[in-house]
Amino acid sequence: MPLLPSLPDPAHLMDLYARFPENVRPLMEYTDGLLRGEGELSVGERELIATYVSALNACTFCAGAHRAYAEVFGIDSALIDALIEDVESAPVDDRLRPVLAYVAKLNTLPSKLVERDARAVYDAGWSEGALYEAVQVCALFNMMNRIVEGTGVNFDYADAPEGHPAAGSSPEAQARSYSQFGEMVAAMAKG
């Protein structure tokens, strides 16, 4: 149930942002830069991290939304299911495993991160830049999960997967998906 009485039930993030459009556009531009921009981690890997962090935080809306994007950008749905079920036995690429371990620890026990955690990422062949990308994705989704959960956004893409804007689309069609979402919100706010 939405926690803000002005939101419909079920409430989608679009409903929240249409009601409170301030700062949505710059947030979506930042999100596009982080999740769609050039990086050492692929767009699919960054969306997988967004999905994983959201699942760790039990944020159904974000986990479902970013799962759809991860799949569009080449992440197998069976891998996502296995990762959420049990990270230790999931068939994750050995190179990505320490990145996921790092963001899981950052997500729940950030003060317990040590040099050894970062070293595992570097030893897997990633640079500091790649680690920073993963840190930013984790941080962004901690914020987004709290916005969604704190306001009671309760739309679940599992109930309507065809309703996701990425459903049946291509990576090219989703190249600026967050900025486009911000532009839609801004247009709605203008009336």
User: 67-113 pLDDT, tens per residue?
Assistant: 999 999 999 999 999 999 999 999 999 999 999 999 999 999 999 99
* pLDDT tier at 35, thresholds 50, 70, 90: very high
Q: Is the separation of the CB atoms in 177 and 36 below 8 Å?
A: yes
Contact present, 54 and 73 (Cβ < 8 Å): no
pTM score, whole prediction: 0.96
Whether the Cβ atoms of residue 111 and residue 119 lie closer than 8 Å to each other: no
Task: Say if CB 33 and CB 21 are below 8 A apart.
Answer: no
Contact predicate 21/182, CB 8 Å = no
Q: What is the pLDDT of residues 135-170, one digit of tens each?
A: 999 999 999 999 999 999 999 999 988 889 999 999
Contact 99, 134 (CB under 8 A): yes
